[in-house]
Structure 1
């Protein structure tokens, strides 16, 4: 009986996590469609949001419904984009991007997460200067780095990074991301993950209890419904995530 309850508990937890992911993806699709129109062919942000949703196994009906709500074909909720900046323990810079229908609720939740785990919410611009926006195409362990590098250079990528396990990242400017992605896919090099993100110019190493507190803060922020993305400049040991 206990084993069955444990299995059921895991299933419920997985379903809850999947639901939370879908909620965040639907919000991104909604905002992208509202700002740039419901046609993904002419809206790169919407196209990317749809790609992420399909990769997460979101049903196409959910995607279409979110677009229709955003474009006024169906009644829906208007979300606005807000960004918060602050510091985690150890002087770690954190950027929190949100989509919300209630700013008061969102800022209260974000501020509470920072204060609970030894951080503090800062003012706009307090840490943003430490980050830059880039496009990233990720190829998993064992990727053909030579072939990827050759294709990426030809496609106009800014940088290629190889890792010890054989994974490869192709870095682009935000403006070139779509064209580089298309060129890589046309060359038969489909990335495991692709998107536009924020990368810190320099990372700050933290260890021990400080690292654990940083991870707890990042996890809490990621779990908030209104939070879409969390970026930081922490260089964390693997043990901190356990």
Structure 2
């Protein structure tokens, strides 16, 4: 028991020494910032040190300041991305729903023409926002994906679910029409008909949707008649 107590005291002492040293390092960087201004690298280092002593809220603020300082000093999309990527990922490790970090990463990937990577990033963020119940923000992220890939049927279907959940009737109808049009182009006429029918349930007086549904239904009947003729021959 004595040995255990001594070990614990030793551990506590070591932790206190470590924290004292880290706080000393923070003060050193504060003095550098006072002398040289808000240098991104110094702000990032302060955030890292604050994280080590568990001061998470303040660390998040300094990571954000590092991002702002990076672009204020002339950082450009696609340049020096290792630094800005590291800052954003570190910030997301502390704050998984930080919109600024996601937005910065997305812009950087676009600056590198890595649109697939940016798309996956926005989808990841959207999924986390949905889990947090922040539906409107998740909708915005899926719309970001559709800027790059407007014909991405799966993303449009995910977006539709959220629009309906958020009771956005007009936007839901608009999305159902787009899904129907894409489905028809892909030869999935049955799916297109289902989408138009759902759109009419939300907006029964919409003449264009009713006309499109009538046209597709006629197309299906014509195909069925042609098939019966072939079979009967």
- Normalising by structure 1, we get a TM-score of 0.25
Determine which structure has more spread, i.e. the larger CA radius of gyration: 2
Q: Answer 1 or 2: higher relative contact order, Cα 8 Å, separation at least 6.
A: 1
- Normalising by structure 2, we get a TM-score of 0.26
Q: Whose strand proportion is higher, 1 or 2? A: 1
Q: Whose helix proportion is higher, 1 or 2? A: 2
